[in-house]
Amino acid sequence: MGKPTGFLEYPREETIERKPLQRLKDWKEYTKKQPEDMLKRQGARCMDCGTPFCHIGIEINGAAAGCPIGNLIPEWNDLVYRGKWKEALDRLLKTNNFPEFTGRVCPAPCEGSCTVELAGPAVTIKNIEKAIIDKGFENGWIQPRIPNKRTGKKVAIVGSGPAGLAAADQLNQAGHSVTVYERADKAGGLLTYGIPNMKLDKDVVERRIKLLRQEGIDFILNTEVGKDITSEELKNQFDSIILCTGAQKQRDLTLPGREAEGVHFAMNYLTQATKRLLNIEVSEPFIDAEGKNVIVIGGGDTGADCVATALRQKCKSIVQFGKHPKLPDVRSDANMWPEQPNIFTMDYAYEEATAQYGHDPREYSVQTKKIVSDHNGRLKELHTIQMKRTSDDAGNMVFEEIPGSEKVWPADLVFVAIGFEGAELPVLKEFGVEINNNKVNAKHGDYRTNVDGVFAAGDSRRGQSLIVWAIQEGRDCARQVDLSLMGSTVLP
Ligand SMILES: Cc1cc2nc3c(=O)[nH]c(=O)nc-3n(C[C@H](O)[C@H](O)[C@H](O)COP(=O)(O)OP(=O)(O)OC[C@H]3O[C@@H](n4cnc5c(N)ncnc54)[C@H](O)[C@@H]3O)c2cc1C
Ligand code: SF4
C-alpha cells in the first residue's frame, strides 16, 4: 500500500493542462507532463483496497465500471509512490498492450469506481498510467520483443484499430505470423483517423506501430478486404482470421434539407483535419471552418472533437446541439458508485470554446427540425425547437416539443455527430458471418463467428465503444485464436 494515511493527507490534484488560448494556436496535446512529486502524492492516496473496484471491469447499465482490462492499479500506484517506475511499468504491461493510448484518452472507468470516490475525489489513476508508460519510452525501457520461435501458423487481422493491434501483438508474441490488413493509408484505426491530435498525438500511435513492425508484424495498408483482396483469398492463405473492422457506419440525419452543401459527417471532417496535419493529400474538397458559423449536431465526444477542431481552424462561431438536458453536477440516485459517474464535466473542447468566446458552446435539449439552404443550395440556417424529457404511461423516456421555443440559427457549416449505426456490412457479408443488430454475431469471451476459423473482436462485435474495450477484446480474442490453433494457450 502507498501511504496508509495518504488519502486523508493529500487532495486529488487534477491533470495539469496547457492554457486553453495558448493551445488553440497549435494541434499539440492539450495536457502537460505531470510533475513526478504530484504523481507520487496521488499514488500515496491509494488505499490498496481489499476489493479494488478500480481493477475489475464489469458492465453496469451498459457502461464500464472499473478497468475492463484488469489493470493491476493498486500495485502500480504503490510502486509509483515508492519511485519504482520500472517495476510499475512491468506490472502495467502485464495487462495493457498500449497504456500510452488509454493513459491519454480513456474516460477512466477505474476512477469512477475508485473507493476513495465514496468520500471524495478518486485517485488520479489515468495520469499515473500515462506517466509510467511515457517514462518507459523516455528511458528506453520499451524495446522490440522479437519472438525467438515461430509456430508456423498464420493469422490475418482485418482492421488496425486498437482491437486489431492488441490481437496482433498478443498473437505475434505467441509465435504466430501475423498480417494486419488496413484500408487506410496509415494503421491505427480511430486512434489515427478519428481521435484528434490534441488528444492523442499521432507520433505516439506511429511509435507503437513501428515497434509492432520491428517485432515482426506485417502491415498491409491501402488494402480493403472484400475489394482489393477477397475473403476467399484470405481463407486460403491463413489459418485464422480476426475481423476488427470497427463500427464506423455513421448515423445520418433524416431531415428536410440534409442535402445542403456545407453539411458533413463528423468523421469526414475529423479525418481530413488529421490528414492535413500529417501532410497527406485528401481527394475531396477540404472542409475548412475558418471564418464560418459552425454548428455541431450531437452532444457526444465526437461532437466535442469537432468543436476543438473547428476552434483551431479559427471558426467565426461554434455551437453544439445536444438532445439531452444538461447533466447534474453530482451523481443522481440512479447513478451510484461504482458506476461511471454521469455528471456535468468541462471537456477540453468546452474549456477552449469558453476561453475563446466567453461561453460554453453547448445547447441542451435541442431538436433540429429542418436545414435551410440558399438558392444555390448552400447551407444558410438551422431551425430548431426545445425539447422536454418526460416519461410515457409505461415509464419509457420520451421527448416532447415545447411550443413557442422555435429558433433559427445562421450556419455555414454543420457537422453531423449523432453516433454510429454499427459495423460496415459489406466486408462482413463477404465473409458470410452472421450479423445481428449491425454487429458481428460472436459471443464476448469466445469471439468465434459462424464461419470456421473466422473470429471477430472490438467495435465490429460490440458496437462503437471505447479503446480500452477494444484492447480487452483484442487480447482476449487472441487467446481464443491461440487455443484453437495450438490446442492450448500461453496467452493471458
Ligand atoms: C471521433 C471519435 C473519438 C473517440 N474518442 C475516444 C476516446 O477519447 N476514448 C476512447 O476510449 N474511445 C474513443 N473513441 C472510440 C474508440 O476510438 C473506438 O471504440 C475504438 O477505436 C474501436 O477500436 P476497433 O479496433 O474495434 O475499431 P476502429 O478503431 O474503428 O478500427 C477499425 C479499422 O478497420 C479498418 N477497416 C474497416 N473495414 C476494413 C476492410 N474491409 N479492410 C481493411 N480495413 C478495414 C478501418 O479502416 C479501421 O482502421 C472515439 C471514437 C470516435 C469516432
Ligand atoms: S479503488 Fe482506488 S483506492 Fe482502492 S485500490 Fe483502486 S485506486 Fe486504490
Q: Looking at residues 47-57, what average pLDDT do you find?
A: 92
User: What pLDDT sits at residue 61?
Assistant: 83
Ligand nearest to the CA of 74: 2
Report pLDDT digits (tens) over 421-448.
999 999 999 999 999 999 999 999 999 9
User: Of the given ranges (163-172, 173-182, 206-215, 393-402), which has the lowest mean pLDDT?
Assistant: 393-402
Between the alpha carbon of residue 421 and those of residues 425, 447, 456, 460, 465, the distances in Å are 11, 21, 18, 11, 12
Give the CATH architecture of domain 6-138.
Answer: Orthogonal Bundle (1.10)
Ligand nearest to the CA of 246: 1
The whole-angstrom separation of Cα 112 and Cα 331 is: 11
Q: Kindly tell me if the per-residue pLDDT of 9 is higher than 90.
A: yes
Q: How far is the CA of 374 from the centre of ligand 1 (A)?
A: 36
Q: How far is the CA of 115 from the centre of ligand 2 (A)?
A: 6
Q: What share of the chain is helix, strand, coil (3-state, %, to 5)?
A: 35, 20, 50
Q: How far is the CA of 46 from the centre of ligand 1 (A)?
A: 32
The whole-angstrom separation of Cα 109 and Cα 149 is: 37
Q: Kindly tell me if the per-residue pLDDT of 2 is higher than 80.
A: no
Domain residue ranges of the chain, discontinuous segments joined by +? 6-138, 154-248+421-486, 252-418
Q: Kindly tell me if the per-residue pLDDT of 353 is higher than 90.
A: yes
Q: Kindly tell me if the per-residue pLDDT of 21 is higher than 80.
A: yes
User: What pLDDT sits at residue 471?
Assistant: 98
Q: Looking at residues 350-373, what average pLDDT do you find?
A: 98
CA 312 to centroid of chain Cα atoms: 21
Asked if the peptide bond before residue 35 counts as cis, ω within 30 degrees of 0, the response is: no
Q: Which residues line ligand 2 (CB under 6 A)?
A: 46-49, 52-54, 73-74, 77, 114-116, 123, 125
Ligand nearest to the CA of 457: 1
Share of the chain above pLDDT 70, in %: 100
User: What pLDDT sits at residue 40?
Assistant: 97
> What's the start-to-end Cα distance of the chain, in Å?
25
- Nearest by Cα to 286 from 319, 302, 264, 303: 264
C-alpha cell at 160: 488496425
What is 154-248+421-486's CATH superfamily? FAD/NAD(P)-binding domain (3.50.50.60)
pLDDT band at 90 (very low <50, low <70, confident <90, very high): very high
The whole-angstrom separation of Cα 310 and Cα 414 is: 11
User: What pLDDT sits at residue 63?
Assistant: 81
Atom of ligand 2 nearest to the CA of 7: 3
CATH of domain 252-418: 3.50.50.60
The reported pTM is 0.97
Note whether 154-248+421-486 and 252-418 share their fold.
yes
Q: Which of 39, 41, 53 to mutate to test the pocket of ligand 2 (most atoms within 8 A of CB)?
A: 53
User: What pLDDT sits at residue 56?
Assistant: 87
Q: Kindly tell me if the per-residue pLDDT of 146 is higher than 80.
A: yes
Q: Looking at residues 319-329, what average pLDDT do you find?
A: 96
Q: Looking at residues 212-240, what average pLDDT do you find?
A: 98
Report pLDDT digits (tens) over 69-87.
999 999 999 999 999 999 9
C-alpha cell at 309: 477542431
Q: Which of 1, 12, 47, 67 to mutate to test the pocket of ligand 2 (most atoms within 8 A of CB)?
A: 47
pLDDT band at 243 (very low <50, low <70, confident <90, very high): very high
Q: Looking at residues 400-411, what average pLDDT do you find?
A: 97
DSSP track, 48-65: --SS-GGG--EEETTEEE
Considering only CA atoms, which residue is closest to atom 8 of ligand 2? 46
Report pLDDT digits (tens) over 166-183.
999 999 999 999 999 999
User: What pLDDT sits at residue 3?
Assistant: 87
Contact 367, 387 (CB under 8 A): yes
Q: Residue 242: CB within 6 Å of ligand 1?
A: no
Q: Residue 163: CB within 6 Å of ligand 1?
A: yes
DSSP track, 211-280: HHHHTT-EEE-S--BTTTB-HHHHHHH-SEEEE-----EE-----TTTT-BTEEEHHHHHHHHHHHHTT-
User: What pLDDT sits at residue 295?
Assistant: 98
